[in-house]
Amino acid sequence: MVLTREEKHKAYIEAKNTLELGQKWQRLVPGERRPNFEKAAATTLRNALGHKTAEHRHVLDISNRLMHQHEPATARILERTLQNGIVHPDVLHSFRDDYRTAPRGYPKPPRSYLHPGDAVPELYISHDSDIDYVSHFNVNTGDYMPHDHTWLGHHVAHRPAPMSTVKTDTMRDVIV
């Protein structure tokens, strides 16, 4: 029987873990016999060492060529790798038969809607009255209920200076 390097490595790790378990083992019941961990580890190692190691290492010559220009084994591995879905399917099509869905060349610059000589537009938003926003749907009446928002104009709220007093409905508060 032929084992891969990974299988042999797993056998070595299993033997090591078996020996470590033998060092940590404790009796749960008086008179309980200790399992022979050393014999189990030796059996695992003997089985792993008795088999040949398979060399599944491929020497891959990967370059910027199409599928039919690579060696057959390398082309199969590359094709299988490109089919796994990590990269876009166009990469696989390009590798197989040089097919591209997007045309070659540089992307076009975004279209400008201004003509040469037009002034650069400036955007001002101004509300002279109240704005009605839809707040919620009333299931009893079947109507959308408005939410009133009053535009305060150019009001800017400022924080009062420290240690100043602010009058509220209940009492005077001191801002720290």
Under a CB-based contact definition with an 8 Å cutoff, are residues 11 and 44 in contact?
yes
pLDDT in tens, 144-165: 777 655 555 555 555 666 666 6
Least confident of 22-31, 71-80, 147-156: 147-156
* pLDDT, mean of residues 79-97: 86
Domain-terminating residue out of 77, 102, 127: 102
* pTM score: 0.34
Mark whether 63 and 40 lie in a shared domain. no
The residues, any chain, with a CB within 8 Å of residue 70's CB and separated by 6 or more, are 61, 62, 63, 78
Q: Please, what's the b/e burial string for 144-170 (b: 16 or more CB within 10 A of its CB; e: otherwise)?
A: eeeeeeeeeeeeeeeeeeeeeeeeeee
What pLDDT sits at residue 126?
A: 61
Q: Residue 14 CB: number of other CB atoms within 10 A?
A: 15
Say which DSSP state 158 is in. -
Domain that holds residue 75: 58-102
pLDDT in tens, 106-148: 777 777 777 778 777 776 666 656 566 667 777 888 887 776 5
- With respect to residue 82, please indicate whether it lies within any of the assigned structural domains: yes
The answer to whether residue 91 is domain-embedded is yes
| Higher pLDDT, residue 105 or 35 | 35
Distance from the Cα of residue 20 to its chain's centroid: 37
Number of domains in the chain: 2
Domain assignment of residue 139, yes or no? no
Report residue 157 as tokens: 């709220």
Residues 47 and 63 in one domain: no
**Per-residue pLDDT, 145:** 76
Residue in this structure with the two tokens 């056998």, named with its chain if needed = 11
Residue 74 lies in a domain: yes
Q: Is residue 137 part of a domain?
A: no
Rg (CA), the chain: 38
Does residue 14 sit in the same domain as residue 48? yes
Residues 75 and 96 in one domain: yes
Lowest-confidence segment of 1-10, 61-70, 82-91, 107-116 by average pLDDT? 107-116
Q: Alpha helices of the chain — where are they, by DSSP H? A: 5-24, 37-49, 72-82, 89-97
Return the closest-CA partner of residue 46 out of 3, 103, 85: 3
Instruction: Clarify whether residues 7 and 48 are in a common domain.
Output: yes
The mean of the pLDDT values for the chain is 77
* Number of helices (H), then strands (E), in the chain: 4, 6
- Give the separation between CA 48 and CA 18, rounded to whole angstroms: 15
